[in-house]
Structure 1
Amino acid sequence: MRIKMFVKSWKYPSILLTIIGVSSVGEWIYFLALNLIVLDMMGVLAVSGLYILRALSTLFTNIWSGSLVDRSNKKHLMVWLAIFQSMFIALLPSFSSIWAIYGIVFLISIASSIANPTTLTYMTKLIPQAQRKRFNSLVSLIDSGAFVTGPAIAGFIFMSGTPNHAIYMNAIALFLAALITLFLPNIEKRDLIETEDEKITLKVLKEDWKLVVDFSRNHGYVMVIYLLFSAVMVLATVVDSLEAAFATEVLAISEGDYGLLVSIAGVGIVVGALVNMIVVEKVATSWLIGLGSLMVSSGYLIYAFSGTFLIAAVGFFFLSFSMAFINTGFNTFYQNNVPVEVMGRVGSVYGFIQAFFIIIGTIIFGIIAESVSIRFVIIIGTLIMFAVTVILFIFNTQSSKKEYYIEKHQLQAPGTN
Structure 2
Amino acid sequence: MKLNLKEWKVPVILLGSLGIASIGDFIYLIAINIIVYQMTGSAAAVAGLWVVSPLTNIVTKFWTGSFIDYRSKKNIVVVTFILRAAFIAMIPFAATLFAVYTILVLLSIAKSFFGPASMTYVAVLVSPQKRKRFNSLWSFTSSGAFIIGPAIGGSLILLTNISVTLWLNAGFFLVAALLLILLPETEKNQQEKIPALTLSQVAKDFTVVFDFMNGRKYVSVIYLGFLTVMLFSFAMDAQEVVFTQQVIGLSEIEYSLLISITGIGSVSGALLLSLFANKISIRYMIVIGMLMMTAGYVVYAFSWSFASVTVGFVILGFFNVFVNAGIMTFYQNNVPVSIMGRVTSIFGLIQSFFQIFFILAIGLLADFISLKLTIGSLAIIMLITTVLYTVAVLNPKYSSWYEEEERESQEKLASING
Query: TM-score band (shorter)?
Result: over 0.9
Q: Is the 8 Å Cα contact of residues 76 and 113 (structure 2) preserved in structure 1? A: no
Give 1:397 shift. 1.4
Which residue does the alignment assign to 2:290? Answer: 293
Q: Which residue of 1 aligns with 2:28?
A: 30
Partner of 1:7: helix, strand, or coil?
Answer: coil
Distance 1:257 1:107 in 2: 34
**Residue 179 of structure 1: aligned partner:** 178
* Alignment-mate amino acid for residue 151 of structure 1: P
The letter for the 1-side match of 2:171 is I
Counterpart of 2:7 in structure 1 is 9
- Counting aligned pairs with the same residue, the percent is 39
1:236-276: per-residue Cα shift (whole Å, max 9, x none)?
00011222222122222222222222222112111111111
Residue of structure 2 equivalent to 1:160: 159
Give the CA deviation at 1:151: 0.5
Q: Quote the Cα distance in structure 1 between the aligned partners of 2:52 and 2:262.
A: 26
What is the CA–CA distance in structure 2 between the aligned matches of 1:91 and 1:324, rounded to whole Å? 33
2-structure distance, mates of 1:347, 1:246: 32
Q: Which residue in 1 is equivalent to 2:386?
A: 389
- C-alpha distance in 1 between matches for 2:209 and 2:192: 17
Q: Aligned equivalents of 1:308 and 1:89: distance in 2?
A: 38
Count of residue pairs the alignment pairs up: 408
2:81–2:176: 8 Å Cα contact kept in structure 1?
yes
Structure 1 counterpart of 2:108, which letter? S
Give distance in 2, aligned partners of 1:8 and 1:167.
Answer: 36
Distance 2:130 2:367 in 1: 48
Tell me the residue number matched to 1:240.
237
Identify the residue that residue 169 of structure 2 maps to in structure 1.
Answer: 170
- Say which SS state the counterpart of residue 341 (structure 1) adopts: coil
Q: Quote the Cα distance in structure 1 between the aligned partners of 2:359 and 2:103.
A: 25
Query: SS of the residue aligned with 2:6?
Result: helix
1:137-178 deviation digits (Å, cap 9, x = unpaired): 000000000000000001110111011111111212212222
Deviation at 1:195, TM superposition (A): 4.6
Query: Aligned partners of 1:382, 1:62: CA distance in 2, in Å?
Result: 29
1:374 aligns with 2:391: no
Counterpart mapping for 1:178-257 below 5 A: 178-189=177-188, 192=190, 195-196=193-194, 198-257=195-254
Q: Using the alignment, how far apart are the partners of 2:76 and 2:65 within structure 1?
A: 12
The CA deviation at 1:36 is 1.7
CA RMSD of aligned residues (A): 1.7
Distance 1:100 1:307 in 2: 41
Match of 1:264 in 2: 261
Alignment CA distance shift 1:266-1:111 (3 Å):
same
Corresponding residue of 1:415 = none
Q: Which digits, 9 at most, give the CA deviation of each residue in 1:32-75, with x for residues without a partner?
A: 11222222222223323322222212222212111111011111
Contact 2:50 2:238 in 1 (8 A): no
- Distance, in Å, in 2 between the alignment partners of 1:310 and 1:284 is 33
Please state how far the C-alpha of 1:194 moved relative to its aligned partner.
7.4
Give the whole-Å Cα distance in 2 for the aligned partners of 1:288 and 1:356: 28
Structure 1: 5+ residue stretches without partners: 413-417
Determine the structure 1 residue equivalent to 2:416. Answer: none
Structure 2 regions of 5+ residues with no counterpart? 414-418
Distance in 1 separating the partners of 2:2 and 2:284: 31
TM-score (ref. length: structure 1)? 0.94
Indicate the residue corresponding to 2:37 in structure 1. Answer: 39
Runs of 4+ in 1 over 3 A off after TM superposition: 192-195
Residues 370, 195 of structure 1: alpha-carbon distance in 2 compared, 3 angstrom cutoff: farther
